[in-house]
A and B are shown apart, each in its own frame.
Chain A
Amino acid sequence: MLGQLIVTGVLVGSVYSLVAVGLTLIWGLMDIINFAHGDFMMMSMYIVFWLYALLKWDPLISLPIAAIVTALIAILSYRLVIKRVVNAPGLMALLATFGLSLFIRNLAQFLWSPNYRFVGESILSGKRFIIFNVVIGLPQLVAAFGSIVMTLAVAMFIKKTKFGKAIQATAQSKDVAELMGVDTEKVYMFTFALSGVCVGVAGTLLSGIFPVYPESGAMYGLLAFVIVALGGFGNIWGAFYAGIMIGLAETIGGFYLGTQFKYAIAFLIYLLVLQFRPKGLFGW
């Protein structure tokens, strides 16, 4: 039983990780808490759903489209709102993203009603295999695999490419980066797009497992905050490991204490771990 729980936990956790990676990029770079992050993901899930409902496209085929459109939503949000409050004092940027979250969530409700929707048949649905008595659903496995590949790609991008280095430089010191010829404005916008791609992919991978409705992204967004803080702000691999950890804690704790407590357990773990590592597991 424990084997099953661990496998399930890791699979769930890797998707959490990808959502959190998108959030930690922005948090680390701009010191902005993006409350609308989970709602970006919800929009991507709706894109996948509609491509499925109207054109019978499989989620895996819609994946690039969902990722690109979500990135565009993120860019639009940046250009129209975030850009204007990046340098505002105190908590103002946070309020702006909260307003953005309210808007996107209720726009979805206005356009598509609060009803639950499901992506019914896909190439993956219903398929599963059993190894050593551990049942693994193919959609879950693909979701986890896709999340890990995406996280890896983002990490490599940040580390190896010139643009990635510009992101790192801007995160360390915006002024110095500007003196070195980095167009920080562009870096901000591009990072928002990258963050959008992350949740776009995560949303697509989840759409076969999780119902699609306006609040779809809410709990994922909230858990992503906890994961980002647990991993250390701006730390991609920190977010990755913290995501897996929260997935495991939620699944194992939920099984032994009751599923209604699974999120409470995740939050409790956060409080406990930070007692020993006040800047997150991988913060410095």
Chain B
Amino acid sequence: MRKTPLLVILLVLLLLPLIVRNVNFQHVMLMTIIFAGLGEAWNIITGFAGQTSFGHAAFFGIGAYTSTVLFYKFGISPWLGMMLGAVFAGIIAFLVSYPCFRLKGHYFAVATLAVAEIIKQLFVSWDYVEGATGISIPVVPDSLWAMQFHGSKMPYILIAYGLFILTLFVSISIEHNKMGYYLKAIRESHEAAEALGIDTAKYKLLAMIVSSMLTAIFGTLYAQYILYIDPFMVFGLETSMKIVLLTVLGGLGNIYGPIVGAAILIPLSEYTRTYLGGTGKGIDLMIYGVLIMVIVIFEPRGVLGLLRIRKRRRIEYGKTVA
């Protein structure tokens, strides 16, 4: 019974782009699914474990760059690159976790931001990956092997959908497992969790690695879809913040949160850009900024918070009547 709304959402995500064959709409759909996936991945470390990461663009970028460099320099399939990118992201997550997890709260958040910035600057001045210029991915005929489809956006949507389901599956498995309860205990009180004998370091590290690997796979898909990447685009603070934004907006620590948040924020950002971004005057981002403020001011608990309050009120009302 609990699963019904999720199945309905998944069905809508899959069927909408099939029914509405408008190319622009399909693009927005694809972006929504990708960012919903990124939100789910980020939710594991921040929503479940309470460790606010402002640096997830680092993992997204590593995923994008790993597959792109392998494809561009050696002609290796992005599918392989995707897996390798996830492994690299996991390794980086492992390496940065030790210094970052010593810090708490805002100190941790700023540390993750610093890590992402350092990695960005390294890529900007790294000639092997074309530095600040970025890499244009060579265009090849449509093939699943090269993860390139120029005739239709549908294959991209299906791949994104598959990756999203994978992320969702991992996320749900963690939530309903020992690990999920441990992470939530850590989120509620680090000290109490430790006093109960939970190996907090181990579970936070695991959550960070899983979250980063899932983030990286979307980086590969994004790169293959846009066919161009540069450090500012994939490692930028804007990317990190977009992930934070949509998850918090939807509802932190909830499986539905990132889906709801992405469904609101991504069409908002993509459509304002399509219709108002052409002037190059920044009107689209101005409006996007205002909309973010308006949403936060009027619904500071996140969209799901609103729904939950409504539900509780209804139950209470029912009780008094009875």
Query: A: which residues have CB within 8 A of B?
Result: 27, 31, 33, 81, 84-85, 88-92, 94-96, 98-107, 109-110, 113-114, 214, 222, 225-226, 229, 233, 258, 260-261, 263-264, 267-268, 270-271, 274-275, 278-280
Contact = CB atoms under 8 A, between A and B. Distances in A.
A274 B289 contact: no
B9 interface: no
A110 B106 contact: no
Given A99-B289, A101-B289, A271 B296 contact: no
A102 B114 contact: no
B115 A106 contact: no
Interface of B is mostly: helix
Contacts of B249: 95
Interface in B281-305: 281-286, 288-293, 296-297, 300-302
A279 B107 CA distance: 7
B293 A99 contact: yes
B237 interface: yes
Nearest to B291: A99
B107 A274 contact: yes
A279 B111 CA distance: 12
Given A90-B248, A106-B289, A110-B286, A96 B111 contact: no
Nearest to B244: A91
Contacts of B292: 95-96, 98-99, 102
Interface string B109-142: 1110111011001101100000000000000000
A27 B106 contact: yes
Given A85-B297, A229-B106, A95 B244 contact: yes
B282 A106 contact: yes
Give the interface size class of chain B: 35 or more
A260 B124 contact: yes
A103 B107 contact: no
23 contacts: A31-B106, A81-B297, A84-B297, A85-B300, A90-B252, A91-B52, A94-B244, A98-B292, A102-B288, A103-B286, A105-B285, A107-B286, A214-B282, A222-B237, A226-B114, A261-B125, A264-B122, A267-B118, A270-B110, A270-B111, A274-B102, A278-B103, A280-B107
B293 A261 contact: no
B162 interface: no
A261 B106 contact: no
B282 A95 contact: no
B308 interface: no
B245 interface: yes
Interface in B184-202: none
Contact of B117 (A88, A103, A264): A264
A93 to B, nearest CB: 8
B281 A267 contact: no
Interface string B47-69: 00000100000000000000000
A200 to B, nearest CB: 21
Contacts of A263: 117, 121
A272 to B, nearest CB: 8
Given A89-B300, A95-B245, A98-B245, A271 B114 contact: yes
A118 to B, nearest CB: 21
Given A85-B297, A107-B286, 15 more contacts: A27-B106, A90-B252, A92-B300, A96-B292, A100-B293, A103-B285, A226-B114, A260-B121, A263-B117, A267-B117, A268-B114, A270-B111, A270-B114, A271-B115, A280-B107
Given A95-B249, A110-B286, A263-B121, A81 B293 contact: yes
